[in-house]
Each structure stands twice: as C-alpha cells, then as structure tokens.
Structure 1
C-alpha cells in the first residue's frame, strides 16, 4: 500500500526540481561563454609563420617559397592577415646571395607581389662566408640581415610563430 505522505513528498520533490533545474541551467548558460566567443578572432590577429632554409638545395628553396606563397594565398582568400618570414642560415644563405641564388628572380617577384612575406639572412653565416671567400658576400635587395638566423627562428617561436622546416 502506498502512503499518502510518501506520494506528497515525491510530488513536492518533482515540483521543486522542475523549478530549480531551469534556473540553474540559465545561470550556467549566462556564465559560460559560447563556443563562438571562445574562438580566437583570426580576422584581427595575424597568422604568423617562420620557414627555415639551411641547405644549399634549389629544390628545398623552391619548396620554402611554395609554402610561403600557398600560406599567404590561403589566408588572403579568407580575408585574414598573415606574416611570413623565410629565415636562411648556414648553406641556406645561398638562397639570398645575389651572386649564387638559384631563386633570386622568384624572390624579387614574390616581394613585389606580397609584402606579407619577408626574407632574413644570417649575419653570422654571411660573416663566415666573407672570410672563407675573402670578399663581401652580396645579398639580394629583398633580404634583411639579422645577427643570427637560428636565434631569429628561436625568438619568433617564443613569440608564438608557427615553425616549418620544408
């Protein structure tokens, strides 16, 4: 036999629960940011990519240039900002040498088309090449000299840049 008191207690519990659940759900919803508000605002913040070139290999140099072009085009198509640095050091400095670069015409064309892509040359490597070849190593006009290519890559990574070695 069911007691009337038990039925009443159950009914009260159900009614109170029905009142409490929507209120707590609404409170939880107002405190929790939506998935959209959690997403980074990529339209305002630039995507940043550093590409390393440290070999004197024309195929590798062209691959790095292809990567840069494709990434730049992808984000341009999305209407988003992107910054790309190609950092050369060691034998990869030949990529930015005016006298030995197999890709200097392509670098010139890319620099004219996209200011989002920049080229950095390792000063340590250039200095060592100057001594080894007993002459001043000329760089392409689009190159900017940095003290150390490896340090430049490290610093960019520490600032949150995405690192790719083609």
Structure 2
C-alpha cells in the first residue's frame, strides 16, 4: 500500500511540474507613430519579452501590428528599423509583423505609385481590427 501511495505521489509531482513549466504566452505590440524611438522601443519590448519568457522555460507568441504613420517601420527603403526587423525575424520564430492594409492602400493613393513593404511584414485588412482580434484571442496588449 505504501508503495502504491509513493508511486501516486511521485506521478502527481512529476505531472504537476510538467504542467507548471512550458506555459505559452501571447503578446500583441502596437505601433502607430512614425517615430524611430517608438519603433525601437517596440522592438526592444519584443526582445525583452522573448528573453524573459525563454529564461523561465516558457514560450511566447509575439505579433507586432503597425498602422497609420507607424506603418513606415515596414516600408522598404524607408524604415529606420529595417535591419533590426530582419535580424529579429530570423532570431525569433514565434514573432510576426502585421501591416495595416487600410494604411498601405492610403499610402499608395497618396504617392500615386507602389509602396513596397518589407518581406517580413504580412498585410492584414485593418491594423486596428487585427489588434481587436488578437485581444479577443487572449493576447496581452502592449503599446510602447
């Protein structure tokens, strides 16, 4: 009987430890300013969050959403943070970048020509709607 109780306690302890480790977190980061300081702060947030959860043995899914003037962080040849975006996208497999399709369309109309975005960015129909959807899915919201 004592052996059975010991085995059950050992099983519960091991399973409890396994459940306590490896938590998955979800974070949405919002950029809507054409300000290199804000863009860099958002990318610093990405790195800091990723490092923190990695140090705890957890994983984190991070999506950076840019719209309005903030979309300039994804404009090819214009982004002041293009190099950092490229490096981070290679370093962090659970990081994605979403570009507002509404803003992109307005930029194209305003310039009268193409406005190429960095290959790391995925165009979503609306940046604001994307942030709403992410929050509805349980993502924590961060605005640097």
- Structure 2 residue runs of 5 or longer lacking an equivalent are 1-15
- Structure 1 residue runs of 5 or longer lacking an equivalent are 1-36
Q: Distance in 1 between matches of 2:134 and 2:104?
A: 21
Query: Larger relative contact order (C-alpha < 8 A, sep ≥ 6)?
Result: 2
* Structure 2 residue aligned with 1:135: 113
Q: Distance in 2 between matches of 1:43 and 1:100?
A: 42
Correspondence 1:80-119 to 2 at 5 A: 80-119=58-97
Structure 1 residues 122 and 90 mapped into 2: Cα distance closer, same or farther (>3 Å)? same
1:78 equivalent to 2:56? Answer yes
Give the number of equivalent residue pairs: 127
Larger radius of gyration: 1
**TM-score relative to the length of structure 1:** 0.74
**TM-score relative to the length of structure 2:** 0.84
* 1:72–1:116 contact (8 Å) kept in structure 2: no
Deviation at 1:43, TM superposition (A): 3.4
* 1:42–1:80 contact (8 Å) kept in structure 2: no
